[in-house]
Amino acid sequence: MGKIKLIGAGVVILFLIIATVTANVFIKKYKYEKMRADRLFNNNVELTARESHNTALIYTKDEFIRVMTDSLQNALKQLQIKPKQVIKIVEKEVKVFIEVPVEVPVKIIGPDTWSISDSDKCFTWSGVAHLKDDSLKVTRERFTYNNTTTDYFYRKLKFKFLFVKIYSKKDIEQKTVSECGESYERSITVIKK
């Protein structure tokens, strides 16, 4: 009788161990699939967003290698970086549009010759204009463009309760601010499987 109870207890313990291991395997698979589905959903949201100024895509290493453009492959080759070494790529494009008519100071420096110059917060340029017969020829002699672009990296706020703020240790957000014009940013983050 005691032997049967011992065998029964052993079978129950073995069953509980097998059930626990199986549950852990399924929980890990579920978390991986949920993370994968969330990542794909967020990538689709980023790509279809109305404001396409800033996009932040997250790829696995295999997905990143499949979607790499030729220009990106050439850039990585020139930098001697293998695609599997890439952790994050941030492409920035700063565009400045000035479509407001502005009077430009003009100085006469000779017969049918004028000195022209203009400046703004981020640029200065100067040139000389020559009038010959019916045509006006403008030669730009100097052009300087200075646009300070600053990247801010900061920890993402996980949650806030009353006066207590908890920040993430792993999730870092990036914000780009340009002195002139608009800054367009495309960010690709490569994660491990």
Q: Which tens digits make up the pLDDT trace of 67-97?
A: 777 777 887 787 777 777 777 777 776 676 6
| 188 touches 66 (CB < 8 A) | no
What is the pTM (predicted TM-score) of this model?
0.44
Boundaries of every domain in the chain: 1-48, 49-95+148-191, 106-145
Measured between alpha carbons, how far is 70 from 7 in angstroms, rounded to an integer? 66
Mean pLDDT of 175-182: 74
* Whole-number pLDDT of residue 67: 74
* Whole-number pLDDT of residue 45: 67
Q: How confident is the model at residue 17 (pLDDT cuts 50, 70, 90)?
A: very high
| 64 touches 190 (CB < 8 A) | yes
In one-letter notation, the amino acid at residue 186 is R
Long-range pairs for 50-56: beta carbons < 8 A, 24 or more residues apart: 53/182, 53/183, 53/184, 53/185, 54/184, 54/185, 54/186, 54/187, 55/185, 55/186, 55/187, 56/187, 56/189
* Whole-number pLDDT of residue 118: 87
* Whole-number pLDDT of residue 104: 79
pLDDT at position 119 over 80: yes
Q: Hey, which bits of 65-181 come out as E strands?
A: 88-95, 106-110, 113-119, 123-132, 135-145, 149-161, 164-178
Mean pLDDT of 101-118: 85
Q: Which tens digits make up the pLDDT trace of 56-68?
A: 777 777 777 777 7
pLDDT at position 11 over 80: yes
* Whole-number pLDDT of residue 160: 82
pLDDT at position 20 over 90: yes
| 90 touches 75 (CB < 8 A) | no
Place of tokens 């990296």: 153
Widest pairwise Cα distance in the chain: 123
